Amino acid sequence: MTATDFAALLQPDRGQPARTIQVVPPDRFAAWLTAQPQRVRTAVAAHGLTGKAGDRAVLPAEAADDWSMLLVCDEPTSSPWRIASLGASLPPGTYRLADADAGAAALGWLLAQHRFDLYRKGNHPGPRVLLTTEPAAIQETVRVATATARVRDLVNTGASDLGPAELEDAASALAQEHHATLSVTRGEALASGYPMIHAVGQAAVRERAPRLIELGWGDAAHPRVAIIGKGVVFDTGGLDLKPSTAMRLMKKDMGGAAHALALAELVMAAKLPIRLHLLIPAVENAVAGNAFRPGDVLRSRAGLTVENTNTDAEGRLILGDALTRAGEETPELILDFATLTGAARVALGPDLPPLFTDDEALAADLLAAGATVHDPLWRLPLWDGYDEMLKSDIADMVNAPDGGFAGAITAALFLRRFVPKGVPWAHMDVFAWRPATKPGRPKGGDAFALRACYQLLKTRYAAR
């Protein structure tokens, strides 16, 4: 769905006819029910509702053809998912909340109506429009919904239809829309300047050649912020081939790039006063006679050498070169997103992305931003004691220590070696995939930590 599509679903409340949604917390249900007319109490009894979270019922009004909707919900009013279940299930029409303005819940209402329909054309119901008494907030809500939908659509797209060139096309479209500059280093041109990106992507066919995509936007006088996203469009594991069960969802291994594109879109659309530098190393980790091998020693843009102990630990390699390039422009802040490790999922599950940073102020601000917009992160340590696990007998480091201990931490420690000293940097090890449907969040590709990072940037820079 486009911004125009989402904007049609959220409209100013000018007193126009609309059906009412009554949201009642479980602990207030009994008191609410007592205050209702007999026809409402009868309807609630007929539905067998007891006031537990998730209870819902159509409530009759005085007019024969009029009705309102009851939802018992334990989500706070600040949650975007408060009425998301209704956004996907109510009949087409116009609605307003009875107890308060739409507020944060408007985002979930919009996203509940998003559909990924590239491969399957369905009969979509008509629009479910939500009214808001805060028209000034509509544009921002639509922006966030559009960016989230971008992540979902890119991650859900099959690798046959989304390769490095298509990621470049997505960045190019954003550059044109927001009058940004685009620079792309492709194929063999990477060999000297970005040797780890080249090594990982060199086995792909020519049409899917590796590349580093860079977008620049904003006033040069504003503080520079670098946003980096891992763009592995498909990960076979390379010569350390993944089993089929682990390869099934590897179309989503470009989820970091999708997040970075979406965050860049939000920054430019909101015209935040920063000098944006977006970097996406885009590759396919393919298998061929020229694929990089276990035991190869790779040179990096930073001049460090890396003994490749596992071709399936390729994401950190391409990010290393991208982080080095970002640091050359002396940014004030670096944020990176990557579907980097299965260890992060084992530790925290699919919904809670780990945050890694050495900067205490940045950590506090990001965690606070995530709590504010209900987009949580959980800080894991960049534990210096594990840095020795990256030791190599023949090179400056290995890319993946043996044994698998602390896999998410050692991956983050690897990345840290390519971050300029003194530059605040945060790494988000996102899953980019929702294994089960939740209200407003269907199974499939999804954004995690995107709204938290956007809130951070707004808080830090919008007031400047």
Active site residues: 242, 316
Secondary structure (3-state) at 408: helix
| Cβ partners under 8 Å of residue 452, min gap 6 | 366, 369, 370, 373, 375, 376, 377
The type of residue at 201 is: G
Checking DSSP bridges between strand 305-307 and strand 297-299, what pairing results, if any? antiparallel
Contact at 8 Å (CB) between 284 and 257? no
Burial degree of 61 (CB within 10 A; 0-12, 13-18, 19+):
middle
Contact at 8 Å (CB) between 313 and 398? no
- HEC string for 242-264: CCHHHHCCHHHHHHHHHHHHHHH
Q: Residue 145 to residues 67, 141, 273: CA-CA distances in angstroms?
A: 29, 6, 22
Retrieve residue 199's tokens: 């090594």
Contact at 8 Å (CB) between 369 and 450? no
For residues 372 and 228, what is the distance between their CA atoms, to the nearest angstrom? 24
For residues 110 and 6, what is the distance between their CA atoms, to the nearest angstrom? 6
Q: Which residue has the tokens 């400047």?
A: 464
How many residues in total does the chain contain? 464
The candidate with the shortest Cα–Cα distance to 301, out of 280, 282, 334, 328, is 328
Angle at 287 between CA 282 and CA 289, to 5 degrees: 115
Alpha carbons within 13 angstroms on the beta-carbon side of residue 200 total 36
For residues 115 and 406, what is the distance between their CA atoms, to the nearest angstrom? 37
The type of residue at 373 is: V
- Bridge partners, 330 (sequence order): none
Torsion of CA 65, 69, 70, 72, to 10 degrees: 160
